[in-house]
Chain A
Amino acid sequence: MDEFRKKGRIVSAAAVKPAAKSARHGKVKKVSKDYVPPSPYSFRAAMAHGDVFTRLSIVIWGLGNFARKQIVKGILWLAIEVLGIWYFIAAGFPAIQALPELGAKPGSKYQDSEGFWHYRTVTPSVVVLLYGVCAIVILLVFVWLWALEVRSSYKAQVLKAERGHAPGFRQDLYDLTDSRAEVSLMFLPILGIFAFTVLPLVFMISMAFTSYDSNHVSKFDWVGLTNFGTVFSSRMSGDVNIHIFMDVLVWTLVWAFFATFLNFFLGMFLSMIIERKTTKGKPFWRGLFSMSIAVPQFVSLLVMNQMLQQNGAINRLLESWGWISGPLPFFTNTTWARVTVIVINLWVGIPFTMMQITGILENIPSELYEAAKIDGANWWQQFCNVTMPYIMFVLTPYLITTFASNVNNFNVIYLLSGGDPTPVGSTAGKTDLLITWLYKLTVDNSNYNLGAVIGICTFIVLAVVSLLTYHSSGSYQNEEAFR
């Protein structure tokens, strides 16, 4: 039994441990059933109970493993140590040292021994910043590996004392496929997330505290919170100020609200019409509305953009019918543009909602309706008391994430209206969301610092909205409900 539990840290086995532990301590400690107790081979324990080899392995990595005849493991640790120290001497520490200054001033000259003047080739500050950030991240990883290594030495010592021999390399490899499978399975995915999600984010966030804008392309400096001051300043001049920011923020929230809830209710309405018992040809209607999904979103958005231009197809059509005398200002009038993007987003989004809700309608247990009928509920009462609560129960987490993805809905706005209409001299158009504004500021105007500040603000808005709601939703708290 013990062997079985040790071998597979499956859910049921894990659930037994905390209870046993709290019983031993004689006090009731509330732990979730997913709780996994910390490893007994901690760094602190290694320092307190380790023998001389374990303690020396702080300096010479893998020494503890060598002493316990874990030769391959010891060699690996030693190799990591040598590689790490070589990296920090060659590149890491110089990169970190260059961080406070962010590279030399451009244009500085020096005279060589023969009297000729040379311009110093200067590394652009952005490269210095990138290498510095990378070096810091690698340093943190190195320290973490160091702690792991000391713990590994201590573990070898304890296991040797308990069993007479420490597990060999072959056993370690087998453990990686079994009791420590999470290490082997998660290694590459986490590496990917680290390199292309975390690192860029740290890099971008650090840009928010520099003067990296269109005037300081190659050499910029740390400026502290100045950029936050610029974004929230009430000065009317400048690319960015609190008025534009509030405009865009309010429109972003309005847009996300309408885009989420109009889509939801109209999609539900449509699917309920199609699901009416007397509607014939249900597959045909569903197929018709899902046709628009098969066309890639960016294509249909670009087409819509073309059709809605001043002299585009829609205006032509309406004029040829004689319904309007001049072109409708789809993307030139603020209100028109805002309503247009919301309506077009309905065109894009309703088929998705429709099919989702169709699936859920199919899943509502029939007993609920039977019970409602026996109680004499009419159609409307059934809808309010059975259909709606069920849909909301299933879709609340989905609605929250949809709201979040609408706040970040780059494609619809950028491809459809491009943020137009844009007031003269303003960096943000009237239909720009925070995210498209950010994109314009960074990619089109090279104001990376302001873009980073706006990105951080977007994050804060989203985090407040979604963490509050997501953590109270069922799918987070009760993830094993369906097993």
Chain B
Amino acid sequence: MKKLSAASKIYLIIVFIILYAPIFYLIFYSFNSGGSMNNFESFTLEHYKAVFEDSRLIVILINTVIVALLSGLISTIIGTLGAIGIVSIKDAKMRNILLSLNNVLIVSPDVVIGASFLILFTMIGVKLGFTSVLVSHIAFSIPIVVLMVLPKLLEMNKSLIDAARDLGATKRDVLTRVILPYIQPGIFAGFFLALTYSLDDFAVTFFVTGNGFSTLSVEIYSMARTGISLTINALSGLIFLITVLVVIGYYFVANRAKRVSEEVQR
């Protein structure tokens, strides 16, 4: 393969700079003792202190993490079971209908999802707040889990199941000792994606959250609407750090899972 020309290198570098500049810009000014994002006075950590001293913000942070973890967990369970069920359907037409329905929420604009869930919750009388937010997050994370698990299930050799059955495994054994370990990388990927979907969601949460309950995205939105506050900058510095750590962690987990599954196959 040819080496990249100087022009292409410059192009890539510019794209990377544009992608990262706003993020580093935010983090840079989080250390600004002046109150604005354009005039760096001197280095300070007071905005980080403000984040940790703002108990309301901490509660919101905890809420966000709880919603993400719970919705990730529950949607992973329902989605994985659903994927196993879909694969077992023999009727190709039925299977395709389910798969198309599965994709509806993935391609739907989040405003539409938010608005329709708002109608739904109001109709069946669910109080807007933690429950409605959690249920919505579970609802829009399920299809992505299914899409992550499905390919793993499809590439699995059916004779593995037959072999296990022949060797006297019960149905439960087949599920827990053969199918689940095999599709584990897909399940992990689904769980991580569900987590990011939940953490990143703004529009759906914005619609179905009531007055008393707020997640980070919604809170940042209302803070940003009132103008610049360097507390948000400090928050983004922390979030960036956590994101990078999670990405590195995910990278290692994914790599290890790959190596383990390769060893199993050997």
Q: Do A and B come from one complex?
A: no
Binding site for B on A (CB under 8 A): none
